[in-house]
Structure 1
């Protein structure tokens, strides 16, 4: 006989008593019940469980007071987070309006505080995040600003401290990625880097580094031909899914007219100074720059001459580069500042100590670059000062000396001097890095699975 029960809203309410009872069967009863249900499929006769002992447990359960919980939530201050992008023609007022900020004090602070005012220089498309209370008062506001010089990212934050605001600035935490690209040259190097064959074009800064890496072996004005290939592994830095800047090339390979050239970046973990090396650990860049000035002319070489002030015939122990006052002076090699100060006839002078027994001197500077002091670590090409006419000088120029064990030598005789070789310990570390990069080159080669290594 089939029995059907009709469930109504009223009957449902009757099923929810103030005091709930739970009937719990003993372990033996559960076992017997399980056996009974499992037997249904094989026998029409059901097991009789009418004599099974039943134990009743009664427990009072307190229902939650929803009214008290709602009241507690209403007493807590509500905070809201908004994010917007800068639009063309935006003003601080229109930006605040979209961010849900209704705070005249905050708007005045952003306009007048030196650090907070940097938020007004954000370019179109950049993100701004603001936190407000339920009345629209600003609790905090932050955005990331990319420095034009150096490509560094700085996070500017405005925070409410009681009844006042403070503005803070700190380096932004960027996500570092390693990207791999490979191209075949059809017309020119730049046109090859602009193509999107493997997911994107390459930044111009990468192209410049490619030229710098391989210029000692390849003349990019005349040696490049159709069918040449190159592969690069380089750093990129991201913030909130947006590319902030491109870093250094970590490794590169260029196949020019059938000849393959490889280059791997190695950096000393202690001094943080580094350079490019071939896969067998030989330095690729020259130990010293051809000239410590980018644009200049030699006004006096390393030779005997009549001194312009004393009128006497004497040896000129350096090379004079004529240039306008303020022209940047670059360190000709990696090294450490051994002296920085006034040195009589040399005027303002910097002396750099390099590897082995080599050193260089830069005299008659108008001023030193920031941070140049005895013991400072210097990288090749780093600006250390500016051309001037201090000391015994008849006009603005740089007096440059190349010294070996303290004795001045003609720098032209050391132009082909190789960079300091790696020590055995450094060479072992380099070989591990080179092996990884060589594997990446094989993936980037025609037929390799480059996507698997990204």
Structure 2
């Protein structure tokens, strides 16, 4: 037997041992329980068929591996094609471009210079991508390029192909991907400096000037710290930027004043649509100041000595001197009310516009082709050409602006804005304007935060 003191020590130490290992015993018991459950689950699971009972068949096949020398000889015997891509550089001519493309083909160069379609390659702007396919001797087999001549011109793909010793050139409309881009910028020196910093195309900057020029003098009114937002479309082909399109919406903060504009598609308009404020009011004026693009006023709206009859009479219009054949534009959207010859007016066209406005264009040499009564015309559309028919001593346009058939001076009358949207068109416009408001909010998150705080 152990001595009592030793027993006590052992009991004391045993107590300490069992007390410190209680957590260990709980974990061990849990593990045993889970193991039993797992064994039970394994015991009831269906057994797979014995793989040893499946038939096994060995297949041995010898593969012939071609020699490396044979593969090299085969490649050398085939015609090798090379594809190279370059971008047009400023100052490039046909020779320098073809040389960088690895084309050494006098016949191809001669064809490009002589063929009307192929010659378009010489009109490519700097930065445009050109791709050429040649053989190992540098003979041109195929050349492809994309031609974009202007924002309003269709984008064309030019393909030059070789068949033996003959070349052909074809062009087709490019399948473009349209994207919507949004930018914001701050004026530090000038508008174009700001657009350059924000990587906004110059064509978009020009549209911004045209859009807000009736409210902002961009030469003198801009202030450091003025900001603007713009949403516009761009067109891409095969992941390459081709050109910018139309400004879809713009917002300009100038000296504390905010000006906004939204493009709205109008299928019935020959221009395709127009710009409006966010409440649906047209930005463009309803009438042009002058129906001629380049001219001078030779006789104003006043009493004058008639050049033919030698009597003082009220001149009820404005005469614009211009060479015979100068195109005459419709001053505003309207309907042809009269087209023909009318006494001293000679060849004359009268247009009826909205809200009792009408305009008359006299002394024309001829009318625009197909013009007839009842036809709708759009502002800026050519309706005839300057002449000297009727009571005229020389080629000029006699232009009258009438309200309720009463002549008014077109140079001093307060020209109204175009007719505002209404009805179903206004509802459709509000949907478009709402989307653009959301885009502006994304460009100016601080403004949106101010609105939320105000609520």
TM-score, with structure 1 as normaliser: 0.69
- Could you say which residue in structure 2 is the equivalent of 1:206? 204
Contact kept, 8 Å, 1:288 with 1:415, in 2: the verdict is no
User: Which of 249, 260, 263 does residue 262 from structure 1 map onto?
Assistant: 260
Provide the C-alpha distance between the structure 2 equivalents of 1:62 and 1:348, rounded to a whole number of angstroms: 96
Asked whether the equivalents of residues 236 and 243 of structure 1 are also in contact (C-alpha less than 8 Å), the reply is yes
Partner SS, residue 282 of structure 1: coil
Query: 1:140-191: CA deviations, max 9, x gaps?
Result: 3222233268565433322346764332234444443322222334455444
**Contact 2:187/2:223 (<8 A) preserved:** yes
Map 1:85-164 → 2, pairs under 5 A: 85-86=87-88, 92-93=94-95, 95-101=97-103, 103-132=105-134, 137-147=139-149, 153-160=155-162, 164=166
User: How far off its partner does 1:289 sit?
Assistant: 1.8
Measured in 1, the distance between the counterparts of 2:430 and 2:162 equals: 52
Q: Say yes or no: does 1:275 pair with 2:277.
A: no
1:119 Cα offset (Å): 2.0
Q: Residues 357-399 of structure 1, C-alpha deviation per residue, up to 9 Å, x if partnerless?
A: 6443434456778x77558875434566654545543223222
Partner of 2:235: 237
Instruction: Check whether the contact 1:340–1:372 (CA below 8 A) recurs between aligned residues.
Output: no
Task: Give the corresponding residue for 1:4.
Answer: none
Distance 1:390 1:78, change over 3 A: farther
Distance of aligned partners of 1:97 and 1:322 in 2 relative to their CA distance in 1, 3 Å threshold: closer
C-alpha spacing 1:300/1:94, structure 2 compared with 1 (3 Å): closer
Q: Which has the larger share of helix?
A: 2
Residue in 1 aligned with 2:32?
none
Contact 1:147/1:154 (<8 A) preserved = no
Distance 2:258 2:236 in 1: 32
Offset at 1:290?
2.1
Does the residue aligned with 2:56 lie in a helix, a strand or coil? strand
Matched with 1:35 is: none
For the pair shown, which has the larger CA radius of gyration, 1 or 2? Answer: 2
Residues 300-338 of structure 1, C-alpha deviations (whole Å, 9 max, x = no match): 334565442344565544321234556554432234667
| 1:332 lines up with 2:331 in the alignment | yes
Q: Does 1:184 align with 2:186?
A: yes
Q: Distance in 2 between matches of 1:330 and 1:386?
A: 9
* C-alpha deviation, 1:434, in angstroms: 0.5
The equivalent residue for 2:56 is: 56
Alpha-carbon distance, 1:297 to partner: 3.7
Alpha carbons of 1:97 and 1:410: their partners in 2 closer, same or farther (altered >3 Å)? Answer: closer
Q: SS of 2:437's equivalent?
A: helix
2: CA distance between counterparts of 1:343 and 1:64? Answer: 97
Shift of 1:435: 0.6
Normalized against structure 2, the TM-score is what? 0.69
Query: Measured at CA, do residues 336 and 304 of structure 1 come closer, stay the same or move farther in structure 2, by a change above 3 Å?
Result: same
- The alpha carbon displacement at 1:433 in A equals 0.7
- Partners of 1:202 and 1:384 in 2: CA distance: 37
The answer to whether the Cα contact below 8 Å between 2:130 and 2:145 also exists between their aligned partners in 1 is yes
**Counterparts of 1:208 and 1:94, CA distance in 2:** 33
Q: 1:400 to 1:50 in 2, by over 3 A?
A: closer
